[in-house]
Amino acid sequence: MKGLKMTIAKHTINTILDTLGENDFVNVIAYTDYVRYVEPCFKGTLVQADLDNREHFKLLIEELHVKGEAKVKKAMKESFRILADVTNGQGSLCNQAIMLITDGAMEDFQSVFEEFNWPDKKVRVFTYLIGRDMTFSENVKWIACNNKGYYTHISTLADVQENVMEYLHVLSRPMVINHDHDIIWTEAYMDSVLFKSKAHSLLLMTSVAMPVFSKKKETLSHGILLGVVGTDVPLLEVMKLAPRYKLGAHGYAFLITNNGYILAHPDLRPLYSDGKKLKPKPNYNSVDLSEAEWEDTEDSLRTAMVKGETGTLSLDVRAAVDKGVIQDDLKKKKKRKLMLLFTKDLFRQ
């Protein structure tokens, strides 16, 4: 796989990564006559597909070079082992998938699937045949069709975006047929808002989205996903649900995602000053609650909120006195109990 084929393959991987979010887990394996993880630190596991990890993978993928003859069978076995190990009794088992990106598959894979995936076919295998050569198309198509996946032929860069998105329709079919779906809230991001005064302002935002599927009787059994509907919500509007007068003089409210990342918090500073302009910090939205609530050393608060539990708990915190300066003098140091009240995550259904 050289030249244009390699360029198309890299673009395909990056496009797949862009379809993933913080609720997804991923890894990327390069293979020749041996298996090589593009990031050795992630060997044998899956990592959260947050913005940092996705961008890290993209940088490593750009550095990939052709080495030797590709032996797909070893890579397939390693992929099945990872999914079996990582999802064994933990994590979401909704969708497990392997994306095979190749310019040809000459080997016989039946023994691999019999060992790891048949007859239950818990892992869907999606295949992407790269380049104009169709010699091995039947082999690549057979892999997808016998593992509840989808076969795609990508011959040019222009084909990548549309063809990659086809896998989403396949994964969504069971949920569409059963009308079983979630309302999804994104991580925080910075965007400009147009007010009535026509002035633009940068604000922290989140987006809420849900799928739209066909309810026609003749198409209901096919599980046709028509699209997605969504809207942007300024986090300031959400924070109004916890007005200051209800929090008390030293109280404050904050929001986190179901992954423990901060959506809104008094200590979150998403902007930095660049001359006279305020600019968003890169990847600021990946700040974990543990980075702001230092007193939660055992992650008891964070864990309870991620799990959607309700109730109260107490933490010892150091109070700020004398215009916000923490006093280390034992005579002046004041210790108080901070009562933390939390409720079921607003962004979970």
Domain termination residue (choose one: 178, 203, 221): 178
> Which residues have CB under 8 Å from 32's CB, separation 6+?
67, 68, 69, 70, 71
pLDDT by residue (tens digit) across 89-126? 454 557 899 999 998 877 778 899 999 999 989 899 99
Mean pLDDT rounded to a whole number for the chain? 81
Is residue 220 domain-shared with residue 298, that is, in the same domain? no
Is residue 225 domain-shared with residue 262, that is, in the same domain? no
Residue 349 lies in a domain: no
pLDDT by residue (tens digit) across 275-289? 767 777 766 667 888
Is residue 321 domain-shared with residue 337, that is, in the same domain? yes
Is residue 27 domain-shared with residue 8, that is, in the same domain? yes
pLDDT band at 337 (very low <50, low <70, confident <90, very high): very low
Is residue 74 domain-shared with residue 121, that is, in the same domain? yes
Checking if the pLDDT of 346 tops 70, the result is no
Is residue 121 domain-shared with residue 171, that is, in the same domain? yes
Residue 335 lies in a domain: yes
The CATH number of the domain where 131 resides is what?
3.40.50.410
pLDDT by residue (tens digit) across 74-90? 899 999 999 988 866 45
pLDDT by residue (tens digit) across 53-70? 999 999 999 998 877 777
Domain termination residue (choose one: 214, 236, 258): 236
In the chain, the number of structural domains is 3
Better-scored residue on pLDDT, 51 or 123? 123
Is residue 211 domain-shared with residue 63, that is, in the same domain? no
Instruction: Tell me if 102 sits within 8 A of 127, measured CB to CB.
Output: yes
Residue 347 lies in a domain: no
Better-scored residue on pLDDT, 93 or 148? 148
pLDDT by residue (tens digit) across 304-324? 988 888 888 888 776 655 555
122-131, 255-264, 293-302, 337-346: range with lowest mean pLDDT: 337-346
The predicted pLDDT at position 344 comes to 43
| Category of 283 on φ-ψ map: left (φ > 0), alpha (ψ -120 to 50) or beta | left
DSSP H helical ranges for the chain: 3-18, 51-62, 72-86, 110-116, 137-145, 160-164, 166-178, 217-220, 235-239, 244-247, 300-306
Which pair of tokens denotes residue 112? 């691999």
Is residue 223 domain-shared with residue 243, that is, in the same domain? no
The predicted pLDDT at position 212 comes to 85
DSSP strand pairing (123-130 vs 96-102): parallel
Q: Which domain holds residue 129?
A: 3-178
Domain termination residue (choose one: 178, 200, 219): 178
Residue 66 lies in a domain: yes
